[in-house]
Each structure stands twice: as structure tokens, then as C-alpha cells.
Amino acid sequence: MAAVPKTRRSHRKVRTRRAHWQTSSVRAHECPHCHELRLPHRVCPHCGFYKGTRAVEVKSEEE
């Protein structure tokens, strides 16, 4: 079986499907260490922590 589309999708179907990634509310997560907003699965830019351990050094951590 070849993966060939049986019917052509309309522009509206395509645009509606592609609009859904914007509606997800998980664009930012709260850091468990400093409770600032950070991106999920990324090192926190505020405290440099990831999974409870220091991953990178942050310059301005005196604040």
C-alpha cells in the first residue's frame, strides 16, 4: 500500500490543523528551583538549573 492521499485536503483543513500548535498553553514552564518561567526541557536561564542540579553557570545570579 502506497501512502498516497485519497482526497486532496482543502486549504481550510490544512490551515485549521496547522493553527493548533499555537493554541497549546505549554510554551513556558515554571522552574522548580527559582520559580521563574522557562522553556520546558531546557536549562533554566535564570538559575542555570536543570533536573535539580546546576547545569550551566549564570552570570547574573546575585539578584
Select from 7, 15, 23, 33 the one that contacts Zn ion (CB under 5 A): 33
43 touches Zn ion (CB under 5 A): no
Spatial neighbors of 42 by CB under 8 A, at least 6 apart, are 50
Number of residues that bind Zn ion (CB under 5 A): 6
Continuous segment of H or E residues that includes residue 26? none
As a whole number of angstroms, the distance between CA 41 and CA 59 comes to 21
Select from 43, 46, 55, 58 the one that contacts Zn ion (CB under 5 A): 46
Beta carbons within 10 angstroms of residue 47's beta carbon: 19
34 touches Zn ion (CB under 5 A): yes
Residues that bind Zn ion (CB under 5 A): 31, 33-34, 44, 46-47
